[in-house]
Structure 1
């Protein structure tokens, strides 16, 4: 999985650089490091122009965002056509999703595949059967069969 993640990341970043697009590592303030773009979970506004970002990396972010629709809408606003949102998020398929009290939303591969009326997959959906199962960390949350 790690090799897959790194391969996709390298290709996506190279494409973004060739196109003159930004690459942004998103993080909430409590977990942000040097160079990270801090996202306020309550107001997830990204300081980029429309269609100006080629790659958004959101590591341990999705589970801390209460309004998923708003977050995804903002990501889609700043991503250029062909842009990529990459996420590493604890999955409800193992233990990780429920271990941290700062997690306010829960994810698994199926959650990302469900279309949302607002356009963002998995956004603002109610808890679905299986979400209450403890989760494990998944690098990209995409099933192997896709």
Structure 2
């Protein structure tokens, strides 16, 4: 039953993707099939950034996000960011570089944010799947231009 609820919430969020905005922003949707939303941010002069959101149990849990190169291999350095949401050190649980931002599972499970429960943000403005991806994109875009 939880999977059906999670799938429905995922599909409702993904259905709100604005195709014109995605094209204008230079996003490429690699996959938008439950439980994975896989998005590449392209840029004319900077290396592309790919986010793979693993959304099982959405939105009981926030998505887990992998930072990847366009080809799907893990990044080996934190992407540029003026807001420092791209943590430069590996997450203590996953061992991967991660997005340190409300709405991302790695943030809410990091030892320095354990008091910031996802339930405090779930359902609030900007904390749906598209809002989370857009926040990450805007942070990345501020740095790469």
- Whether TM-score is above 0.5 comes out as no
TM-score, normalised with respect to structure 1: 0.29
Q: Which has the higher contact order (CA 8 A, sep 6+)?
A: 1
